[in-house]
């Protein structure tokens, strides 16, 4: 079984990353934005794992980092959802366009 080259995986991860970026910039719904952020995080995870596997197969650092990122992402999701709930309570909407008090 021939190995999948590293570049393919990197294409996948950067595709995933920019889908996330696009989603973050275009979606007005905060839950969708949160999902986009998760996409970006996961693309980074893929990068970590693949670099670890292809460049330093005898080490585990990249995998450790992936585990950290997943943990942090879980915590971040909890915080983000708390923010979204509070936003909903105060503005009765989770559309970011409705929460624009913090301007000049």
Closest CA to 47 of 12, 97, 21: 12
Nearer to another protein, 31 or 67 (CB): 31
77 binds another protein (CB under 8 A): no
Q: Which residues pair with 95 in a beta bridge?
A: 29
Tell me the C-alpha distance between 23 and 1, whole Å.
36
User: 3-state class of 95 per DSSP?
Assistant: strand
Q: Minimal distance in Å, beta carbon 40 to another protein?
A: 11
Q: Which two tokens stand for residue 19?
A: 């889908």
Q: Spell out, one character per residue from 21 to 50, where the chain touches another protein: x when CB under 8 A holds, - when not.
A: x--xxx-x----x-----------------
Binding residues (CB under 8 A) for another protein: these are 21, 24-26, 28, 33, 96-97, 99-104
């Amino acid at each position: 079984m021939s190995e999948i080259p590293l570049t393919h995986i990197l294409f996948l991860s950067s595709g995933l990353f920019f889908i996330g970026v696009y989603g973050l910039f275009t979606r007005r719904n905060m839950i969708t934005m949160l999902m986009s952020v998760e996409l970006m995080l996961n693309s980074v995870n893929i990068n970590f794992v693949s670099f670890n596997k292809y460049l330093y197969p005898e080490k585990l650092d990249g995998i450790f980092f992936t585990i950290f990122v997943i943990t942090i992402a879980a915590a971040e999701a909890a915080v983000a959802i708390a923010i979204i709930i509070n936003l909903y309570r105060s503005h009765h909407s989770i559309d970011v366009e409705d929460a624009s008090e913090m301007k000049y």
